[in-house]
Amino acid sequence: MLGADESLSMAVYAVGDIQGCFEPLKLLLEQVNFNPEVDTLWCCGDLVNRGPESLEVLRFLKNLGDACVCVLGNHDLQLLAYSAGGKSFSGDTLDDLIAAPDADDLIEWLRFQPLLHHDADLNWCMVHAGLSPRWSLNKAKRRAGRIEKILRSEQWKPFCKSLQTKDFPMAEPMGKDEKNLFSISVLTRMRFCSAEGVCDWKQKTAKSKTAVYQPWFVHPKAKWKSDCRVLFGHWAALGLVLKEKSVLGLDSGYVWGGHLTLARLDVPKTQLWAVAS
């Protein structure tokens, strides 16, 4: 355990990228005596893929009902695309889920999950990857909402399949379709960008190779910083982000030999628990 233990009733917890690793998730929830009757679990996206138990993870989270809040990550979108007839990629571990008798119900549940969740009382906004420095919280909500509307419509299959073939715009474009592509890329794939919100999609390391592109959350004039704190995952190479005032990063890379990390959010000082791979 990485944090001191207090009363664990009526708690709000957040977990980093689960990626189909059900056993460590269960161990973490056992450590804090998670009770879905009173507690809430936030999941930072990438619920599935790479790990061996994506099916079990989705079944468990779906059955939590209102006690679970998830946002979609890039691997969750890959599951949606694959289930819609898209491609499977090297390293994917989704076939058991696709073949399950309840696959359709799980896919239906997944595509109705948001891309952004905001809790005004806790002052936390959760996304999988990041926010553009040019976005206020309200603008980010609008951008996420447009994508969510597509995912919940009859157009979800061609839209998700198209994400496998299109190049991500580096800067915010003018056209509607390209703007939606940029928005979903920021929310589910962002790591480095300039202060003006121009994204570098190629760099996946912990440190940037150029001075122009820096982690999306370090730019001091980012508009969202006056609205909320941001909880995110996605960036295993960077690991836990604990010392930045405006963000909390929880992808500690369990599927890459690291840890799965759980944080308690509804306390003055964030508490952490971790399970090693």
**pLDDT score, position 9:** 60
Supply φ then ψ for residue 176, to 5 degrees: -60, -50
- The DSSP letter of residue 226 is G
186-208 burial: b if 16+ Cβ within 10 Å, else e: bbbbbbbbbeebbbbeeeeeeeb
Instruction: Clarify whether 75 is annotated catalytic.
Output: yes
CB 256 within 8 A of CB 19: no
- Strand ranges inside the chain, DSSP E: 12-15, 40-43, 68-70, 117-119, 124-126, 192-193, 199-200, 214-215, 229-232, 247-249, 259-264, 271-276
Task: Give Cβ neighbours of residue 209 (< 8 Å, ≥ 6 apart).
Answer: 203
Share of the chain above pLDDT 70, in %: 97
Task: Give Cβ neighbours of residue 147 (< 8 Å, ≥ 6 apart).
Answer: 115, 180, 183, 184, 187
> Burial of 216 by CB count in 10 Å (0-12 exposed, 13-18 middle, 19+ buried)?
buried
d(CA 250, CA 229): 14
> Burial of 10 by CB count in 10 Å (0-12 exposed, 13-18 middle, 19+ buried)?
exposed
d(CA 14, CA 34): 12
CA angle 80, 82, 88 (to 5 degrees): 140
d(CA 251, CA 237): 9
CA angle 235, 65, 131 (to 5 degrees): 30
Locate 123 and state its tokens: 């002052």
Per annotation, catalytic residue among 75, 117, 128, 234: 75
Query: Which DSSP string corresponds to 180-193?
Result: HHHHHHHHHH--EE
Which residues in the chain show pLDDT less than 70?
A: 1-9
In the three-class reduction of DSSP (H, G, I as helix; E, B as strand; rest coil), residue 256 is classed as helix
**pLDDT score, position 7:** 45
| pLDDT tens profile 78-117 | 999 999 999 999 999 999 999 999 999 999 999 999 999 9
Domains and CATH numbers, the chain: 12-276 (3.60.21.10)
**Prediction pTM value:** 0.95
d(CA 54, CA 160): 19
What does the radius of gyration of the chain's CA atoms come to, in whole angstroms? 18
Say which amino acid occupies 127: V
